[in-house]
Amino acid sequence: MDSDVQTYVSSHSDDEGYAGRIEVVTGPSGRRRWPEHVKAAMVLETYRDGVSVADVARRYDVSAPQLHAWRRAARDGLLPMPDDDALGLVPVLVSGDGGSRRDGGAGDSGAIEIKVDDVRILVPSTFDPGHLARVISAVRDAS
């Protein structure tokens, strides 16, 4: 039987040896305790594109405010997460070259440069964010 399910048995008879009618009620009782790895999995799921906190909360039968509290705990470092990069911000370095391009490309106004280890990725402003995430993941896995 699951650790978060308790069974209650009530007897409606004072006579010893005969229970009469027995009522068994099962289900979650009171506060549930979620293991840290389950909380972390739920929090990571809320950071996926197109997924809302309310959807994840409904799927796991958790209140949305509770899930927001776990997200805050993860950002503050109080909830151990398996992948710290999922919650952190990307460090940005603004160069002082006034936006001039070294390679002379004219059509890339608004482009950004991302460095992952020793790999330089030049991203035009019209690039698909989902595809960029896959590119960065592939570069990380390869390095």
Give the pLDDT confidence of 82-129 residue by residue, as tens digits. 765 555 555 666 665 555 555 544 445 678 888 877 888 888 878 887
- 21 part of a folded domain: yes
> Helix, strand or coil for residue 2?
coil
Q: Which domain holds residue 19?
A: 5-86
The C-alpha atoms of residue 33 and residue 7 are separated, in whole angstroms, by 17
Number of domains forming the structure of the chain: 2
Is the pTM higher than 0.75? The answer reads no
Beta bridge partners of 22: 11
The C-alpha atoms of residue 93 and residue 122 are separated, in whole angstroms, by 14
Check whether residue 75 and residue 122 sit in a common domain: no
CA pseudo-torsion sign 127, 130, 136, 142: negative
Give the pLDDT confidence of 7-35 residue by residue, as tens digits. 555 555 565 666 567 777 666 666 788 89
What pLDDT does 77 receive? 85
